[in-house]
Chains A and B, each alone.
Chain A
Amino acid sequence: MELDPHVLHVAMRWLHVAAMATAFGGAISVLALSARPGVTSSSAIVAVAVRYEWLFWGAAGVLAMTGIGNLAAFGAALLGPATSWGATLLLKLGSVLGLVVLSLPRSLAVARIDASIGANAQASVAVLRNLYGATTGAFGVLLALAVWLAHG
């Protein structure tokens, strides 16, 4: 049985958006938790951050896979890098690569904090707040670029 390519591409876009929502929404959630350290205990915030890191890398893999699939849907009609759309895509791809590269030290820092949470809990939460603030900002930029590429 042949699968309609349009159905496949819609499913891929849906998966792409769902992975982005998971990664972006998760970062906002950890940022919101770490912005109010007095309300939630530090160890609970770190535990949520560790869970988020598992989800983030799963979402990153799915985003890369479906993102390339979305580009493949354009086929030979994909606009070149010399066009305005192409320059924005180039910027987006570079930003995604930058986010992926800089997310590894964030994950490692979360793992390190989790291994030594008793040492200085308040300082650890402040580090998490900065890390997830930067991650949220980076996702915001990527989302703006994605919206521009889709509708600009």
Chain B
Amino acid sequence: MKLVTWSLATFHATAFVLAIVLFAYSRGALGAGLSGLNTFVGLGLFVALWATTYFTTSRALRGLDLIGSARDRDGYVRRTFRWGAANGMSFLVILGIVAIGSAIENTQPGQVGAGILFPALVIAPVALAVSAAVGGAVGALFGIVDLALFSLAGLGEGPAGPTV
């Protein structure tokens, strides 16, 4: 585990959630949105997003030395797009499992197949495609923001030692 990976992954997860919360609150929609969410489920979903973001960020950074190599930073946004899409799909799978589990709990056994599993199977491919597109766009956006912040940190063309 590297400091750069841990920093970037946590930055992406927290900044993403904080931006959504800030936007929702400024529109007056946060209270109603959060009041319908079970506390444990909310905490669990944040941890899940944090974990999937850590996993996908570490995969995106595999083999790259962002601190020491300007050339490695050049290909970074392509990777954040690809692994952002993977993160979007991973999080959707977790979200889907929670939603389906919760729906099954509140449904009579005889209606689970036709009422929940079949619609879920129909919706799943479209939802995965949308989550990949959204995840990829958010990933690419974060890739661009990251590069700007790398410059702010003084990571220009100069050589440096291996990444911590």
Contact = CB atoms under 8 A, between A and B. Distances in A.
Q: Do A and B come from one complex?
A: yes
Interface of A: 5, 8-9, 12, 50, 53-54, 57-58, 60-61, 64-65, 68-69, 71-78, 80-82, 86, 89-90, 93-94, 96-97, 100-101, 103-112, 114-116
Given A5-B39, A72-B34, A50 B3 contact: yes
A96 B62 CA distance: 29
B154 A112 contact: yes
Interface of B: 3-4, 6-8, 10-11, 13-15, 17-19, 21-22, 25-26, 28, 30-32, 34-35, 37, 39-40, 42-43, 46-47, 50, 66-68, 145-146, 149-150, 152-155, 160-164
Taking chain B's interface residues, is the majority helix, strand, or loop, or is none over half, making it mixed? helix
27 contacts: A5-B39, A12-B39, A53-B7, A54-B3, A57-B6, A57-B7, A60-B10, A65-B47, A69-B42, A71-B31, A72-B35, A74-B34, A75-B31, A77-B31, A80-B31, A81-B26, A90-B26, A93-B25, A101-B11, A104-B7, A108-B4, A108-B153, A111-B67, A112-B67, A115-B161, A115-B163, A115-B164
Contacts of A68: 17, 21, 34, 42, 46
B41 to A, nearest CB: 10
The main secondary structure of chain A at its interface with chain B is helix
B146 A115 contact: no
Nearest to A53: B3
Nearest to B1: A54
A76 B31 contact: yes
A73 to B, nearest CB: 8
Contacts of B15: 97, 100-101
Contacts of B8: 104
B28 A80 contact: yes
Contact of A107 (B7, B19, B30): B7
B35 A105 contact: no
B31 A74 contact: yes
Given A72-B37, A78-B30, A104-B7, 11 more contacts: A68-B17, A68-B46, A69-B42, A71-B30, A86-B25, A90-B25, A90-B26, A93-B21, A101-B15, A103-B11, A107-B3
Most buried by B among A50, A73, A107: A107
A82 B17 CA distance: 22
Given A104-B11, A115-B67, A94 B21 contact: no
